[in-house]
Amino acid sequence: MKKLSLLLFLFLSFINVSACKCVMSNFAENYLDADVVGVIKILKVYGENAQQRTYKADIEFEKLYKGAKFTTLNVRGLIGNSSSAACEKDVKPNERYLILLKGSNKNFSISSCSPMSQLPEKPIKDESIEMEKLSNVFSYLDKNKFKFKGLQFTYYYDETMGANTRSELSKIRNFKPKQPFAIYKVKLNDSFKIKEITPMTTFGSKDKTIEAIMKKNLTIETPMFKDTSEKNEYLVLLFYNKQNIKTENKEIISDSWF
C-alpha cells in the first residue's frame, strides 16, 4: 500500500531512491521526535571531505518552531556530485527548507533520508498561511503530548482513488473549517480498515461526514520496521490545504500538509 504521489517531496514516508532505502516516520511523529524544527536558508557550502563523502553547509534560520538555532549542517555527499543511490544530499546556496531534525550539542547532519522539505527560494503568496497552519499543529502537539502516549501517528491509503483526480474527502462541499487540521484516534480491524474513530480535535465543519468517509474508504498503513503486532490503535493527522482548491490533482483534505 503506497501513496508516493503525496509523500515523495516531503521525504516523510518510506522512500526508495535507487539503492537508497530510508525508514521515515509520519510528519507528526517527526515533529515529536525532533530536537530542532524550523525554516532554514542555505548560505554557503564548503569543506568537502572526499574520503568520508561529506561537506558542510552554513545556514540561517528564518523561523524556529522547536529547539535552539545553530549555524552549520553536516551534509552527506559531495558538493554538486552527490549520489542518490547512497542516500546522499545535494544542497545549494539560497535554497530553503523546513527541517525536523534530531541531534545534540548543535551537531546536526542530513542526508536524502532526513525529514526535510524544500521550499521555494523566495516565499510565495500562500507560504505564510501554510507556515501558520504548521505552527498551529506544532503548538497543539506540544500541548497535548500526554494524549498521544502509547500511540503512533501514521498514514492511510485511499483505495477508492484509482484514476480519480481527488479523493472523496477533498470533494466535500461547503467545507468551512474552524481550524486547518484534525486528529483522530482510529481502531483497526484485521484488514487495517477503520472500525472505530475517536476525534481528538476536529476541523469543526463536516466532521461526521469526514468520519464516515474515513471508515468507508481508508486503509491505515501501520508503521514499518516497528513492532505493531499487538497494536490496533493509531493516530491520523489530517490537514486542510486551502491553497489546493483551484489546483487539479492536489488534495484539499489529506495527511500531507502541502
In the chain, where the domains are located: 34-123, 140-254
- 161: its cell numbers: 482513488
* Contact predicate 26/99, CB 8 Å: no
The pLDDT score that the predictor gives to residue 64 is: 97
Q: Could you tell me which residues come within 8 angstroms of residue 5 by beta carbon, excluding any fewer than 6 positions away?
A: none
Query: In this predicted model, what pLDDT tens digit does every residue of 111-156 receive, in sequence order?
Result: 999 999 999 998 888 888 899 999 999 999 999 999 998 999 999 9
216: three-class secondary structure by DSSP: helix
Of the chain, the end-to-end C-alpha distance in Å amounts to 21
pLDDT at 248: 82
pTM assigned to the model: 0.86
pLDDT score of 230:
59
For 221-250, what is each residue's pLDDT tens digit?
887 544 445 578 999 999 999 999 988 889
* Cα 217 from Cα 228, distance rounded (Å): 22
Pairwise CA distance, residues 102 & 166, whole Å = 34
- Contact assessment for residue 251 and residue 238, using Cβ atoms and an 8 Å cutoff: no
Query: What is the CATH class of 34-123?
Result: mainly beta
Res 228: pLDDT: 47
Question: Residue 10's pLDDT is what?
Answer: 42
DSSP string, 38-75: EEEEEEEEEEEETTTTEEEEEEEEEEEEES---SEEEE
What is the rounded CA–CA span in Å between residue 53 and residue 180? 41
Q: Which residues contact 138 (CB under 8 A, 6 or more apart)?
A: 31, 37, 65, 66
User: Among 217, 143, 121, which residue's Cα sits nearest to residue 238?
Assistant: 217
pLDDT tens digits for the chain (258 residues)? Answer: 444 333 333 443 333 344 788 877 889 999 999 999 999 999 999 999 999 999 999 999 999 999 999 999 999 999 999 888 899 999 999 999 999 999 988 899 999 999 999 999 988 888 888 999 999 999 999 999 999 989 999 999 998 887 677 899 999 999 999 999 999 999 999 999 999 999 999 999 999 999 999 999 999 988 754 444 557 899 999 999 999 998 888 999 999 998
- Cβ contacts of 17-22, under 8 Å, gap ≥ 24: 17/84, 17/85, 17/87, 17/112, 18/84, 18/85, 19/85, 19/86, 20/84, 20/85, 20/86, 20/87, 20/112, 20/113, 22/87, 22/112, 22/113
DSSP 30: H
- CA gap 102, 114 in Å, rounded: 9
Q: Do 251 and 166 touch, CB atoms closer than 8 A?
A: yes
